[in-house]
Amino acid sequence: MIISKCWNNFETVGVKLLNEQIAKLSGYNTSFPFSQPGIEGFVTLHNVKILQYNPPQVSVVNFLPPRFIVFGLENMDVSLMGNFIGSGGPFHVTGTVDGSLVAMTVALTVEFSSTEDGQMVVQVPNCSTIIGRSHFNINPEGPMGPLVKTMEGFINDGIRQRIPGMFCKKLKHLIEENSPRIFSRLTKTNFEDHFKGELTENTVIKKFIANFVKGLYVDNKNIAHPVVTNEYFETQQKGEIRYEDNAESTPFYPKPMVTRADSDRMMYFYGSDYLFNSLLYHAYQTNKLSIKWYPNTTTSFVLIPHGLPDFQFNGDAGAIKLSTRIITYVDDHGHQKQIMVSSSDGQADVQLYATNGRFSGDLKLSVQLHRTSLPGVDPSSIEQLTPLAKTFLGPQLSQGLKKGVPFPLNARSHNIGAPRAKDARRIHGTQDRLHHQ
């Protein structure tokens, strides 16, 4: 959600993007008829490009319900250069043209909507241009050049009438062609590259994390048209964390969230427990939650989930309830013999802190005996016989969680505070500025 009264930073970034693109515009083409006593023909301008661009002195952005945003750029100065062809009757003249547009104002109305496949569509239904003053110099070539030069005033009028349409057509193309590509970055965010750092030094946990994040991404397709009111611009996105090689959707849906319209921050990101539970569901379904460990040549441990993990917000933190089975094997003359199954009920308390662009947490595990083939082993002594949970699994995963995982949009935005769990269903984070990248 982007709040209108905290729009200054977004306006700065948006106008900067427009300014950079306007300064690079080229390839303007247009033609218009001319009529003088005894001569009628056409003037064609082509390969017109911007030589120098002075950004607007004033920029204005306004929300316009139900899904429009209006941009106003006032008092821009533009220097242009291009080629022209003049033809009529028996003559055909080529040459160059250069000139300037001074105190130009452009008003753009941008419309936002979503497609059936969840992508954002940006259209420019209206664009208007007002030019304070302009002048162009005609530089005709050939023996008919002096005759064409006498028509410079008339040609100036023609250029002045055509330039606004040329300019708006280019801006419309620029916005409509590039905006979907920009928004597509938000509809899918890959996680795998964000876990390249060292969360733990343990080889087993490294392997587990590498397998867990392989192909992991956020499916953030738009599930409805954006909402524009006089106070804010809001997108509604899926927020399902899943894997590339799994086409199955979750069998549950996110619960409705109540958001706030009043704010002292520029932007809010709202997320529900569906983000985490969709991740846990897909990881469970694709067997991403199992761990195998060989502490020595005769013993091995396998941890497998016993039921679907569940995430819930709890105050200012999140809690993942885990139920697992830890199977202990020993080498019995070349064969793996199962000697014990212990249950491990744990809870990963994810403290929702955004420190240096990372989410961090903690993990607590308790261990109970489920069954064993060893005589004399009872539940009271099981902790001494379960080093996987007691001395390895819990501490290693806890170490990784405490180091934290990176927030995937850090390169494009700046957090100002920790995300907060507002109730049992949602979390929100705030942004005070965006980075142009």
The owner of tokens 């080498």 is 331
Tokens encoding 171: 């801006």
- Rounded Cα gap, residues 381 and 364, in angstroms: 19
Longest dimension (CA), the chain: 117
In the structure encoding, which two tokens stand for residue 204, read together? Answer: 């087993």
Per the prediction, the chain carries an average pLDDT of 77
Q: pLDDT tens for residues 56-99?
A: 888 888 889 999 999 888 999 999 899 988 887 777 889 998 98
Q: Could you tell me the domains of the chain?
A: 11-185 (3.15.10.10), 289-436 (3.15.20.10)
Place of tokens 């009438």: 161
pLDDT at 66: 92
**3-state class of 305 per DSSP?**
strand
The pLDDT tens digits for 234-291 are 888 888 999 998 888 899 888 777 666 555 555 677 778 898 899 999 999 999 999 8
> For residue range 335-386, what is the model confidence (pLDDT) as tens digits?
888 888 877 777 777 666 556 656 666 666 555 555 666 666 665 555 554 5
Min mean pLDDT across 9-18, 316-325, 388-397 is at 388-397
Q: What is the pLDDT of residues 169-212, one digit of tens each?
A: 888 988 898 888 878 888 888 888 777 666 667 788 888 888 99
User: What is the total residue count of the chain?
Assistant: 437
Would you say the pTM of this structure is higher than 0.75? no
Is residue 66 reached through a cis peptide bond, with omega within 30 degrees of 0 on the bond before it? yes
Phi, psi dihedrals of residue 35, rounded to the nearest 5°: -145, 120
Are 236 and 221 in contact, with CB atoms under 8 Å apart?
no
For residue 431, what pLDDT is reported? 44
348 forms beta bridges with 320, 363
Beta-bridge partner residues of 189: 218
Q: Which of 207, 251, 259 is nearest to 231 (CA)?
A: 259
430 compared with 358, residue with greater pLDDT: 358
Handedness of CA 346, 419, 353, 212 (dihedral sign): positive
CB atoms within 10 A of CB 159: 25
Amino acid found at 230: N
- Burial label for 233, CB within 10 Å (0-12, 13-18, 19+), is buried
- Specify the pLDDT at position 210: 87
Question: How many Cα atoms are found within 13 Å in the side-chain-facing hemisphere of 199?
Answer: 26
Residue by residue, what is the 3-state secondary structure of 194-227? Answer: HHCCCCCCCHHHHHHHHHHHCCEEEECCECCCCE
Query: In the structure encoding, which two tokens stand for residue 12, read together?
Result: 């700065």
Q: How confident is the model at residue 77, as a pLDDT? A: 93
Instruction: Please provide the DSSP assignment of 77-109 as one string.
Output: EEEEEEEEEEEETTEEEEEEEEEEEEEEEEEEE
Question: What's the CA gap between 184 and 248, in Å, rounded?
Answer: 22
Q: Is the dihedral of CA 241, 247, 252, 255 positive or negative?
A: positive
User: Can you give the pLDDT at residue 109?
Assistant: 95
Residue spans of beta strands (DSSP E) within 115-214? 120-140, 188-190
Strands 335-351 and 354-355: unpaired
Higher pLDDT, 375 or 436: 375
In a 3-state reduction of DSSP, which class is residue 403? helix
Using 50, 70 and 90 to split pLDDT, how confident is the model at 418? very low
* Assigned token pair, 78: 């533009």
Residue 286: its pLDDT value, please? 93
User: Which pair of structure tokens corresponds to residue 242?
Assistant: 């899943």
Inform me whether the pLDDT recorded for 155 exceeds 60. yes
